[in-house]
Each structure stands twice: as C-alpha cells, then as structure tokens.
Structure 1
C-alpha cells in the first residue's frame, strides 16, 4: 500500500504541512508567537481566510481579506522572535512574493502578538524598509 504524499509546509520548516502549520489550521492552539506567525504565512499562501481572521486580534481584525490571484508567495524567513512580556511577543520576518510576471518583492515586518485565553493572536506590525 502506498503512503500518501505529504505536502511540504509553506512556512519553510521542512516538515509536512499536516505535522507543522496544518495542526494550527485545524484548530490546535499555536504554542508560541513564532509558530502562529509561520501558520499565518502558510494561511496566506493557501488563501485560508477563516484562519487568518480567527488569529487576528479582535481590535485590529478586518472584516475580510482580499487575496490577489496573481500573487505567488516565494518564501518566509524569520529574522527574530522574542517575548516582550508574559503574554506578548514580537516576530520579525521577511516574506518574499511575486505578483504576476513581475520581479520578486518582499514584505519585511516586525509583528506584535498577544496571548489571550491560551491562544496567540496577531495584533499589528511595523513595516521595515
């Protein structure tokens, strides 16, 4: 009997999606802010709007997310991840992408996270140059 093909996780962890971000997408709470950041990147790649909205802090959550059908995510690099308090953290990352046939671009952000009720939420972030 053939084993099912395991899809690599888009977050770049080198694990199968099911054992990596797929756990958080299925409802298990991410254990830390960096895991939540990775799972949110994967959710953007997979256009998983319900997960993105559910993990966005209620004070900042948009009503919906418009995905650009011409945008292709190319990779994620975590630059820094650190706790800033008992229930707060920051994750600095660079996400590379391409829109249509254009050249690659990158989003460099330091994101803020908060833990409430045992779950981490993305609050907001500062775009870096």
Structure 2
C-alpha cells in the first residue's frame, strides 16, 4: 500500500499558506510520513508564486535569456537557473516513469516529441 493512491492510507492533515495560496498537507496512516501537495514537484519548498516560476519557464522556452527573464521578473539570474534545473530534474523523473511503463526507449520518446512539436508548429502557421 506504500505509494499507491486511493487505498485509504493517505489522509488530509491540514494546510499552510504560501504566496501562491494554500497548500494541502497529508499524512500516511501506514508509515506516519507527513508530506504536502508540492512534494516531489518542481515547486517543493519554494517561496515564489507558482505563476511566476511558470512564466519564467515559458520565457526560457520562447528563447529569452536567463538574464533578461531575471530582469523582467525582478529576481537574480541564479534564481531562474535554479528553477530551470528543478524543472529539468522533474521532467527527467517523469520521462523515467513513462519509459518504464510504456517500454519505450529515450530515442523513441525524443522522436515522438519532435513529431509533436512539428505538428504543433504547423497548426500555428495556418
């Protein structure tokens, strides 16, 4: 029952406030571990609003420099770099789980994303 959702072993255990709003806390009845809805995400233990971090990541994807993003969002370039690293680590974890469950190689997954990006770019031009 460890790590399996919907088995009744995890229950709500209050909330706490952040700049982004309330965060739900949970406790596992089985092992007593306390965690929150941000645990194992790129937002865990960050004090910045989630929207600001997501905007920074979108701007990186659009090709804006880290220094430029930092200037616009009024944070240090190192902060943007740290957010980007966290997001990359989280993406890698998701890829690992996808590859395990789907029995797809990393090369095949990269090829799939290339196709998806080409199709998405084609629909934007129309």
TM bin (shorter chain): under 0.3
TM-score by length of 2: 0.26
Structure possessing the higher relative contact order (Cα contacts under 8 Å, 6 or more residues apart): 1
Structure showing greater radius of gyration is 2
- Greater percentage in helix: 2
Richer in strand (by share) = 1
Question: TM-score, normalised to structure 1's length?
Answer: 0.25
